[in-house]
Chains A and B, each alone.
Chain A
Amino acid sequence: MLFNSLSFVILVSLTFMIFYSVKTVKTQVRILILASLIFYAWHDALLLLLLLTSAGVNILTSFYVIHNKKNKKLIASIGVISNLSILAFFKYSGLIAKTVLNDSDFSEFLISIPLPIGISFFTFQGISLLVDVYKENHFENKKIIPNSLATHAQNTLFFIAFFPQLIAGPIVKAHDFLPQIKIKTLNTINWEKCFKNILTGYFLKMVIADNLKDFTFWISYPYFESKDSVSLVTMLFGYSNQIFADFAGYSLIAIGIAGLFGYNLHDNFNFPYISTSFKEFWKRWHISLSSFLMEYLYIPIGGNRKGKYRTYINLMITMILGGLWHGAAWSYAIWGLFHGLALALERVFSPYTRKIKFPGIRFLQWITIFSLVTIAWLLFKLPEFDHVIKYIEAIYNNFTISFERPLVIKILIYSSPILIYHLIYLYVNNFGKKHLKRFEFIFYSIMLLLILVNSGTPGDFIYFQF
C-alpha cells in the first residue's frame, strides 16, 4: 500500500478513529497490529507468513534470552543468525547463485526468489530487539519486557510491524520504541509537528521526487549515451536530489503518521547535503541505518578501539555490508566500499586538513563532498558497474555547448526546493527561527498547493526495493 494512495488515507483515518476511541493500551496495540497487517498484506497476503515467521522467531528467542539465564548468549546468537538467514535467503540467494553457482535448476530457483518488501528493515529491528534484551545496556528487561509471553508477543509484533515504518524505515531500535508502548490520548499529539512532517514528506515525494524521476529516467543504458555532458551532469545532480526527496519524504511521512498515534520516531535525515565531510554526511543521511550499523556492527567488531589500521578495516567492513544491505548486487558493495574508503581516508588526513585555513575552504569541502556523494549515487541508478563507467566516459566525451536546455532547466526547477530547504536550515542555524516563524505558514501553504496541482506521475519509493 503506497503512502500516496487513497487506500492508505482511508486506512490511517479509520485506524486513527478506532485507536483513540478505546481506553486500554492492549486494545490500542491490537488495533495498530491489525492495521499494520492489513497494510503489509495489501498487495500480497502471502507475505504475511514471512513477517509473522520473522516476528515469531524474535518473540521466542528474545523471551528465552530474558528468562533463561544459562544459555542466554546461545539463544541470542540463534535469534540473530535466524534473522540474518531469513534476510540472506530472500535477499542474497540470487546474488550468490549468479556469482558462485553455474547455470542449473537450483541456481535458477535461487535467482527467482522474490524480494519481500521491507525485509531489510524488519529483520534489522528483530536483531535490535535481541541485542538490546541480551545486553540490557539501554533498559532493564524486567522494566520494559512483560512477564507474560502473550503480552511480549503482542508488543514485539507491534514493534516489528508498526505500519508507518514497516517497509522503508526509519529503522527503529527496540530501546527507542518499546518504552513508548503505553496508553495514548488525543491531547498528547503534537499536531503542528505531525502536520509539518506529513506535509513536507508528501511535498518531497510527490512534487520533487516524482517529477524528477521522469527527467532522470534517461540515466539508463544505452539511452544516456545520446545525451550531452551538461545534461548528463544535470541529470546526475537531479538524481541526487530525487533520491534525497524520495527517501527523506517517505521518512517524514512515516514520522508524522507515527506521531499521530503518539509514537515518536527519530529523524532519519538532517539536511545531509550541507555536509562538509563524509563523517558528517553519515550523521545526517539515513541516520537510523548509520546509527544501527554503528551500534550493532562497527562497535561490536572493535570500532576504533583496536588501533588505527583495524579502525580503517572496521570502517570498510561496516560500509561494504551497509552497501550490500541496500541491494543484492555488487554495485551496492562497491558503493559501500567507496564510502568506507572515503571515511578511512578522511580519518587518515584529518590531522592535516584540519590545519588548512583559508577563506572558502568550507565551501570547497562542501562542493567536494556533495559531488563525490552524487557521483556515487550512479551505482544505485545503474546496477551494472560497466554502465557507470560508460556514464562517466559519456560526461567526458559528449561535451557540446548546445545542451538540452529544457531538460536542464526542468531538473534545476524541481531541484531548487531542495536547495531552498537546506538554505533555510542554514539560515535558522545562524540567525534563529524567530524571523521565519511568522511566515512559515506561507511556505507550507505553497507546498500544500503544489502537492494538489503539481505532483508528478505517481512512482514507487526508491527504498522499497531495499
Chain B
Amino acid sequence: MVHLVTLFISNFNLKMIKKTILTSIVLFSIWSIILYAYPNLSVSQHQWQDNYIRAEKYLYASDEIENVIIGSSLSTRIIMDSLPTFYNLSFGGQSTFDGLKVITTKANSPNNVFIEINVLYKEENKTFTRSLTSQVPYMTKKKFLAFRSDKQPLAIFGDRIIQPFASRVHRLIRKGYYKTFDNSISFNKSSDSSLFEKMKALQVERNTQLLSNEKITLLIDNLRFAVRNLEKKNINVIFFEMPVNIEIHNLSKPNQIRSLIQKSFPNHIFIAAPRDLEKYKTSDGIHLPRDEAALYTDYLKKEIKTINNNK
C-alpha cells in the first residue's frame, strides 16, 4: 500500500491540477468571508431548494422551537406570520416522512409536532434526507455557511445583481410597448378557469386510486414507528388534514387515509379539515391560494387554542 501511495504521488506532479485546487480554496475562502460579513445574503430559487433551506434553517437554528408542522406542499401554504411559535417543516413535492426524519436528527426536540395526513402515502425521499442528515453534509453545512442551500453564489448573483438591472430594462421595454401598442393587447393565455378544471381533473384522477393493502401496511408501520420515536422524546403528536376542493375531499383515497389514521391512532388528537369546505376552492384542486390559506390558518389557530384549553 505504501508503495502504491508513493507511486501515486510521484506520478501526480501536475502543476495545472494543483493550481486549480489551490485557486478554488482561495475562492472558497473569499466567498466564505463575504457570507460572514453579509449574513443576510440568502436566496431561494424554487420549491425544491426551498425544501432544503427550510430543513437546514431548522437543523441549524439555535433557538428552541416549540411547535413544528410537517407535511407536503399543501401545508407550506399555512400563513406562518400568524403562528409565531410554530416552524413550518413542510416540503413541497415531498412527504410527511421527510419532515419526520429531519425532526429526529436535531438534538433539541419541539413540544408538539403537527402531522399533515393528506399526502401521507408518499415515501421518504432518501436522497433528500441523507443529504441533510448524513454526518458529512450535516457537519460541513454546520461549520461552513458557504455549503448551505440559500448561499449559492450564482443564485445570489442573479437575485442581487442581474434581477434589479433586468427589472429596470423590463420596465423600459414595457413602457415602450404600451406606448406603441394598444393597452388591451396583453395576456391572452388560456382562461384560468379552464386551467383550474384541467388541474383539478388531474387531482381527481390521482385521488380516486385506492392505496394497496401492501402500501397501507408499510405506511402505517412506518408512521407508528416514527410517532413512537417522537413520543419517547416527550413530543406530543397531533394529526391534521388540510382542506382541499370539496370534490376531492370525498374521493376514495382521502377517505381511505382519513379513516386509516383515525383507526390506527385512536388516542391521538386529529384536527379534521374545516366543515365549510365550499369556501376552499383552491388553485388546482388541492393547494390553497393566499386568501384561503389565511382563512384556514385562522381555523387551525382556533382548533389549537381549543386543544390547549382542554388540556
Contact = CB atoms under 8 A, between A and B. Distances in A.
Interface of A: 6, 17, 20-21, 186-187, 189, 191-192, 195, 199, 207, 211, 214-215, 217, 222-223, 225-228, 394, 397-402, 405-406, 409-410, 413-414, 440-442, 444-446, 448-450, 452-454, 456-458
A191 B13 CA distance: 9
Contact of B187 (A207, A222, A398): A398
A450 B155 CA distance: 11
Contact of A441 (B19, B48, B49, B178): B19
B48 A214 contact: yes
6 contacts: A225-B190, A226-B189, A445-B22, A450-B154, A453-B28, A453-B146
A406 to B, nearest CB: 7
A400 B188 contact: yes
A405 to B, nearest CB: 6
B107 interface: no
Nearest to B17: A195
B63 to A, nearest CB: 26
B302 interface: no
B151 to A, nearest CB: 7
Nearest to A228: B189
B28 A20 contact: no
B153 A191 contact: no
Interface string B142-181: 0000110001111101100011001100100110011000
Nearest to A215: B46
Interface of B is mostly: helix
A199 B163 CA distance: 29
Contacts of A405: 163, 166-167, 170
Nearest to B152: A454
A227 B155 CA distance: 22
Given A225-B195, A398-B189, A400-B189, 16 more contacts: A21-B4, A192-B16, A195-B14, A215-B46, A222-B195, A222-B199, A397-B189, A399-B188, A400-B187, A409-B162, A441-B19, A441-B23, A445-B21, A453-B28, A457-B48, A457-B128
B229 interface: no
B11 interface: yes
B45 A409 contact: no
B187 A228 contact: yes
Contacts of B146: 452-453
A69 to B, nearest CB: 46
A420 to B, nearest CB: 13
Interface residues on B, range: 35 or more
Interface string B26-56: 0110010000000000000111110010000
Contacts of A222: 195, 198-199, 202
Nearest to B199: A222
Contacts of A414: 154
B11 A186 contact: yes
A458 B131 contact: yes
Contacts of B167: 405
Contacts of A207: 154
Contacts of B153: 449-450, 453-454
Contacts of B199: 222-223
Contacts of B52: 457
Contacts of A450: 153-154
B179 to A, nearest CB: 12
Nearest to B191: A225
Contacts of B14: 191-192, 195
B225 interface: no
Contacts of B24: 445, 448-449, 452
A194 B44 CA distance: 34
A283 B62 CA distance: 56
Contacts of B147: 452-453
Nearest to A213: B48
User: Counting chain B CB atoms within 10 Å of each CB, which of A401, A406, A410, A456 scores highest?
Assistant: A401
A458 B16 CA distance: 29
A399 B162 CA distance: 23
A159 B45 CA distance: 43
A362 to B, nearest CB: 29
